[in-house]
Amino acid sequence: MIYQRNQFYISEEYQRRIRSFRIILAGCGIGSNIAECLLRIGFENLTLIDGDIVELTNLNRQNYLKSDVGAPKADALAKRLLGINPKANILSEDIFLNNENLEKYIVRGHVAINALDFQSDTPFKFDQLCQKHKIPVLHPYNFGWGTLVFLIFPDSPNLSTISNEYIGFEKKVAAFLIEKLPNKTKEWVQNILSDYEEKGHGESPPQLSVGSWLAGGVCTNIIFRIATQKPVKSFPDFYFITAES
């Protein structure tokens, strides 16, 4: 059995429960790493949504192969996951989410992952609709040597309390995090942010494979705990895990 080595960590009852737990994954960038971790632990009902294609610059951190370059991300990821577990229920939607089509996809899930780029107000609308339908939603961020994950519950504040303006939102998330970190950790995060602001010249934020794979582990643990009704931390509290000493 594919999950035999999960024993002692995950009971047979929990293994059955998570198999049918439905997850909506919006954004197959960092979401590609999260999806594989979820599948390998036993979550077999995943809907993957992304209208983007795989680019060469994705390969330093996202869960794709050189042969996937030019292919739709959602389809390439679904193919990879079905290669791991052909019996899994993996649905891929090669579309960009917008304010008009969001609700059609959100209602399919027990939990959602919002890994959308903040290029419009759609990520905010995504959260609002999840709260309306009482669906917990995770926000993962790659911080190079670390990962940050927010969990939004129907009755918790949402990320609009950080800012309701999507332009530059990721920088505002970084500022939110830096304010709350202990000094030793705060220093390297602040240094990276300062270097990016000084030398980035409009480039996309720097990210490492470490942050993406840590996000996979953290998100999988959070969703497992939700599915098995164990306590979790919700926003404005957060999860921040780092490999930096």
For residue 148, what is the enclosing H or E element? strand 146-152
What pLDDT, in 10s, does the model give residues 178-215? 999 888 778 888 888 888 888 876 678 889 999 999 99
Q: What is the pTM of this model?
A: 0.96
pLDDT number for residue 244: 77
Domain ranges in the chain are 12-156+206-242
**Mean pLDDT (the chain, rounded):** 94
Tokens of 228: 């098995």
What pLDDT, in 10s, does the model give residues 9-50? 999 999 999 999 999 999 999 999 999 999 999 999 999 999
Give the integer Cα–Cα distance in Å for 13 and 11.
5
For 112-141, what is the mean pLDDT? 96
Pairing of strands 239-242, 45-49: unpaired
Task: For residue 72, give the DSSP letter.
Answer: B
Domain made up of 12-156+206-242: CATH architecture: 3-Layer(aba) Sandwich (3.40)
Is there a contact between 108 and 20 (Cβ–Cβ < 8 Å)? no
